[in-house]
Structure 1
Amino acid sequence: MIDTETHLRTVNVTRYIAPLREGGSLPAIAEADDDFLYVLKFRGAGQGPKALIAELIGGEVARLLGFKVPELVFANLDEAFGRTEPDEEIQDLLKVSEGLNLALHYLSGAITFDPTVTEVDSKLASQIVWLDCLLTNMDRTARNTNMLIWHKELWLIDHGASLYFHHSGQNWEDQALRPFALIKDHVLINQASELEEVDIAFKTILTDEKIKTIVSLLPDEWLTERSFETAEEQREMYFRFLSLRVANSQIFINEANNAREAVI
């Protein structure tokens, strides 16, 4: 079904197919009641709902900015699901993940992006670096690019390691205004020579209104941080964090430019 309020579809998981053990949070390939396959991310995994929050916000910001991102859907896991799963670790994960999870459309036949094989032009590289600076995404390195080539096009996946400020739960205002030092390890930093131009273009798209719309997608049941009295207060934190970073983007652009100059 289509949730007209959030504009994200909700599906019911019908079949657990296989774990993706290369992922630290043990995501899985699963089938849903719309007959599509998905990469299912579990709310009961290591980082809990915060990884799903980062995945949703990161993926939808990327989509808004024009990147190719697999469709994100809410994935409902019934309490009876997985009772016959023989692997105890997986069975435990399914049990603590009952309810609303997140899934990405499975790109069958996609191959991992290899920077030594596929060349990315300076504009696209700059766009991706800008995005990852905004989201503080530490997980787009040469070791683990989290990009796929599907039908000869570049797709961005796995934003669950973004927005890592929310794991500390403190001083988020200060962290919103900090440069992103880990950008020096970004797989595309060498090619990112058009950050200033990208910044102008992306700021016209990523308005406060658009950020608020994306943040409003977050389900109440994922917003469980005890330092907030209500789910809406926690949503407001994510909105203000992103709004501050966009408004002060020159901070992370300068850091990225310095990192690039150090390696070229």
Structure 2
Amino acid sequence: MLPQVMATRYVTPLREGGSLPGIVEADDLGTYVMKFTGAGQGPKTLVAEVVCGQLARRLGLRVPDLVRMWLDPVIGKGEPDEEVQELLKASGGLNLGMDYLPGSIGFDPLAYAVSAAEAGRVVWFDALVNNVDRSWRNPNLLVWHGDLWLIDHGATLIWHHSWRSAEAAAAKPYDASDHALAPFHPDLDAAAAELAPQVTEKLLAECLADVPDAWLDGEPGFAGPDAVRAAYADVLAARARTLHERITLGPPTPDRPSQAPGWLTGKDGDAR
């Protein structure tokens, strides 16, 4: 289970993306990037963050530590921004915190070289979770203490916005042509040989156990949180087996509109 902390001070919003995360201090004296259950996509975005963050960590990729973060909406009373106030009021209770990496900088492919092996592992992982939001347009990568860190996985596992599509999602191809690390010639064969055997039933169960029941309970068509966890595991296990055969890498397409869903870009409120 993820450690739990209490939010003690809302510091500032991060006005990137559609979910309006914020920098928050907690009672363990840590500083976190907090994502809120009251944001547009609700708990599903937080579920994706937990599943992907814990899975990436177990596969040897660098992601900020995650915590369950309890929020008392009263801390938003002094916030002058009405949008932030409403978000905090709507997010009382359990939310998600990601360790804030002070001094980190956004990834720039012209300033930071990535080996083919590391690029291959990141691209393979993103294909596994069907990440539509790590392109050259928006890398969602940080460089911290000279290392590459993966952040912001809210736009993954997108089949969970419509479970009817889950079976098809297991065999869905992944076009990595616009991936932020595509220029570094990702070694996908080596990544598949290293990572696919690690995506076991046990590993997936461990990652999914870290998702709070409250964020899974009440999902239509499921008997309870454990049934939802099993559905996530089924899709991810099936994808991992032959994933490398369905990843394509072609030339980038600078003139093509972003493939991220409308709810992420702010152009459409429909998650499906």
Are residues 1:211 and 2:204 paired?
A: yes
Could you tell me whether the CA contact under 8 Å between 2:38 and 2:91 is conserved in 1? yes
Among 76, 83, 104, the residue aligned to 2:98: 104
Distance 1:236 1:78 in 2: 32
Q: Alpha-carbon deviations, 1:60-105, whole Å to 9, x = none?
A: 1111111111111111112433123222211111111111111110
What does residue 159 of structure 2 align with?
A: 165
Aligned length: 251
What does residue 10 of structure 2 align with?
A: 16
Distance 1:57 1:110 in 2: 23
| Structure 1: gaps (5+ residues) | 1-5
Are residues 1:227 and 2:221 paired?
A: yes
When structure 1 is superposed on structure 2, of 109-118 and 71-80 the one drifting more is 71-80
Distance 2:56 2:43 in 1: 20
Distance 1:53 1:248 in 2: 25
* TM-score of the aligned structures, taking structure 1 as reference length: 0.91
| Structure 2: gaps (5+ residues) | 253-272
Are residues 1:66 and 2:67 paired?
A: no
What does residue 87 of structure 1 align with?
A: 81
Superposition deviation, residue 171 in structure 1: 2.6
What does residue 131 of structure 1 align with?
A: 125
Could you tell me whether the CA contact under 8 Å between 1:177 and 1:251 is conserved in 2? no
Q: Alpha-carbon deviations, 1:3-34, whole Å to 9, x = none?
A: xxx1x111100000000012321000000001
Letter in structure 1 aligned against 2:197: T
Distance 1:54 1:101 in 2: 13
Structure 2 SS opposite 1:248: helix
Q: Alpha-carbon deviations, 1:142-195, whole Å to 9, x = none?
A: 1211111111111111111111111123130111111123x2210112324421
Structure 1 SS opposite 2:9: strand
What does residue 33 of structure 1 align with?
A: 27
Show structure 1 runs of 4+ deviating over 4 A. Answer: none
Distance 2:221 2:91 in 1: 23
